Structure 1
Amino acid sequence: MGRRRKGREVSGILVLDKPLERSSNSAMIVARAIYKAAKAGHTGALDPLASGVLPICFGEATKFSQYLLDADKVYRTTVVLGEQRSTGDAEGKVVAILDASRLSEADVEAVLPDFRGEILQVPPMHSALKKDGKPLYELARKGVEVEREARPVTISCLELEGFRPGARAEVDLLVHCSKGTYIRSLAEDIGAALAVGGYVSALRRVQAGPFDESQALDFEALQPLRDREAFDELDALLLPLDTALSHIPAARLGEVAAGFLRNGQAVFVPQLPSGELFRLYETTPSGPVFMGLGELLADGRITPRRLLANM
């Protein structure tokens, strides 16, 4: 028998406003302790330098965390031009100083189109990507640099929101990007295009998939509820599991079809919307009940892909 987890069997999604100077894993551990949850996981790492939207999945929601990992993200960042740092952000050592005082807002605007759309980006050495089983950041801390292959990423929006001239010019950017995009690499590449270098001095994630910062809660709001063990109030702050899957079309099933699916059998669903993956809902007298995910077979039936337990 597997070892039983300690904690409450709570399921749902907490949109956490991750604070600065805390890793995503550390923030997840704190959130799990506040909820006294048996199972939890985060959905896309934010560096300690960054703050903002970090969805935390509890219980059954962890089954669908991959769809948040794969989702687009939106960031607001400040890039300092005229200086290069070893890590591409404010935590690194200064490796080069150049004068950015010649730059104007128009100069920055002129290079931004080169970074919109699908581009190739070389991951930074200070990242969690692995080489021969070891994270690149471990090699970087030892002074070892290895060749990294450029990877395609998509930047669907890159807007200049502020410009402050000077020898260390500051640029505020809004970035809407695909998974796997490194804002530090983007900052360095923009700095290189302007021939002055650049690094990220501030970074905030304002949206992750369907969740934005207006929904995010910080530890200061959660901890007082935990202190008085108001778990009902804490649970009420969690979003339903299917909110992470709003981009996937929905299919509604009657009681009989839902029963077949729970037993692992494929079923035909009338008036099925177009798509290959579907959110599955059983129609009940009290309203639709989320069952999980199903996928379309070649013969037009839907087969279970990922269903909730104890349905």
Structure 2
Amino acid sequence: MARRNRGRDVHGIVLLNKPLGMSSNQALQVVKRIYNARKAGHTGALDPEASGLLPICLGEATKFSQLLLESDKGYETTAHLGIVRSTGDNEGEIVSTRPVPELDDAAIEAVLERFRGDVEQVPPMFSALKFNGKPLYELARQGMTAEEATEIAERKRRVIRILELEKLDFRNGCELDLNVVCTKGTYIRTLVEDIGEAIGCGAYVSRLHRVLTGPYRGSQMIGLDHLEALFEAQDYAALDALLMPMESAVPHWPFAELSWAQAQKVMLGQALNTSLDDAASVQLWAAESGVRQFIGVGSIQKGRLQPTRLLNVALFDPVAPV
């Protein structure tokens, strides 16, 4: 019997520009196949109707998926004013239409100002939040009544923070382009619907494109077509060169350099005495003979360095020729 291909031990982060029409899980599986990676995970789902930045973690980088999932996100979105749809986006049925009032920059800015900072949101029924173990979108598609949907949604009410909310353009008397930077758990569809209600005409999301996840920007994204072309050429060296290093997920954290002997102890989960300043989170690096290797993250409290998330990778040999 032929041995099953378990994939490569490849570690790093792919900054994918997820195309429209593809779920985040589908994109994950395609990238995993392209890299022939043993392990992979994404860092926060984008709906099939949304495009843009979807960091995909390969190998040991999956240990940083949760950090990126909890990071701030940024979007460019278009609010189509005057129409309300059942799902809050292009997929839903039209629920109501209302005339769009005359709007100038001052009027738009006055509305947007109301949504900056801490804002209460009721998540949409067509979302992945779960109730009694089932995603809300499944319950919605099973014909839940409006009263039941409202009751469940109210239980999920939360406070999110809008860090940036700016008008990019206002076109055709009904298309309002916005830039949004927000904390995790923010529903852009809900934000757009609430802005539409504040204007007095309703709105839905006709375009959604993610341009920021934590430390990563849209300008760093890689198209799926480019990855597919390199895969067809079996150019794994070029594919691997596109990976962001694992430490790029935590660029602003301070770092602690350890000798090779110290790094060996830390890799076994042992704490160390240190003269470094206390820090809730630090990068951990092994450094010897001019060679540095990222080995994980930890914390420093009262002169003790404690590893909290370690990479399962081989530590370099300090006596081997460089």
Normalization by structure 2: what TM-score?
0.91
Q: Give yes or no for contact 2:81–2:100 (8 Å, CA) kept in 1.
A: yes
More deviation, 275-284/56-65 = 275-284
Matched, 1:237 2:251: no
Unaligned residue ranges in structure 2 (runs of 5+)? 315-322
Give the SS at the match of 1:118. strand
Match of 1:98 in 2: 98
CA shift, 1:158, in A, is 0.4
Partner Cα separation in structure 1 for residue 172 and residue 221 of structure 2? 33
How high is the sequence identity, in percent, across the aligned residues? 49
Give the SS at the match of 1:127. coil
Match of 2:308 in 1: 305
Match of 1:160 in 2: 167
The 5 Å alignment of 1:28-107 reads 28-107=28-107
CA shift, 1:216, in A, is 0.8
**RMSD (Å) for aligned C-alpha atoms:** 1.5
Partner Cα separation in structure 1 for residue 197 and residue 56 of structure 2? 36
Q: Give yes or no for contact 2:74–2:211 (8 Å, CA) kept in 1.
A: yes
Partner Cα separation in structure 2 for residue 304 and residue 147 of structure 1? 40
List per-residue Cα deviations over 1:36-84 (Å, max 9, x = no partner). 1111111010111111110000000001111110111110000011110
CA shift, 1:23, in A, is 0.6
Partner Cα separation in structure 2 for residue 198 and residue 77 of structure 1? 12
The 5 Å alignment of 1:124-139 reads 124-139=124-139
Q: Give yes or no for contact 1:5–1:38 (8 Å, CA) kept in 2.
A: no
Match of 1:260 in 2: 265
CA shift, 1:211, in A, is 1.0
Q: Give yes or no for contact 1:7–1:37 (8 Å, CA) kept in 2.
A: yes
Partner Cα separation in structure 1 for residue 88 and residue 188 of structure 2? 9
CA shift, 1:170, in A, is 1.1
Q: Give yes or no for contact 1:88–1:200 (8 Å, CA) kept in 2.
A: yes
List per-residue Cα deviations over 1:198-230 (Å, max 9, x = no partner). 110001001111111111111111111111211
List per-residue Cα deviations over 1:104-155 (Å, max 9, x = no partner). 3332211111110111111110000000000000011122124223211111
Partner Cα separation in structure 2 for residue 139 and residue 59 of structure 1? 34
Partner Cα separation in structure 2 for residue 182 and residue 247 of structure 1? 27
Letter in 1 for 2:83: E
Give the SS at the match of 1:251. strand
More deviation, 84-93/5-14 = 5-14
Match of 2:290 in 1: 286
Unaligned residue ranges in structure 1 (runs of 5+)? none
Matched, 1:196 2:201: yes
Match of 1:277 among 276, 281, 290: 281
In the superposition, relative to structure 1, how do residues 186 and 172 fare at CA in structure 2: closer, same or farther (>3 Å)? same
Partner Cα separation in structure 2 for residue 224 and residue 263 of structure 1? 41
Q: Give yes or no for contact 1:23–1:47 (8 Å, CA) kept in 2.
A: yes
Letter in 1 for 2:282: F
Normalization by structure 1: what TM-score?
0.94
Partner Cα separation in structure 2 for residue 248 and residue 10 of structure 1? 24
The count of corresponding residues between Structure 1 and Structure 2 is 304
Match of 1:205 in 2: 210
Match of 2:143 in 1: 143
Give the SS at the match of 2:189. helix
Give the SS at the match of 1:276. strand
List per-residue Cα deviations over 1:76-98 (Å, max 9, x = no partner). 00001111000111111100100
Partner Cα separation in structure 1 for residue 309 and residue 88 of structure 2? 39
Partner Cα separation in structure 1 for residue 220 and residue 197 of structure 2? 36
Partner Cα separation in structure 2 for residue 285 and residue 264 of structure 1? 24
Q: Give yes or no for contact 2:272–2:304 (8 Å, CA) kept in 1.
A: yes
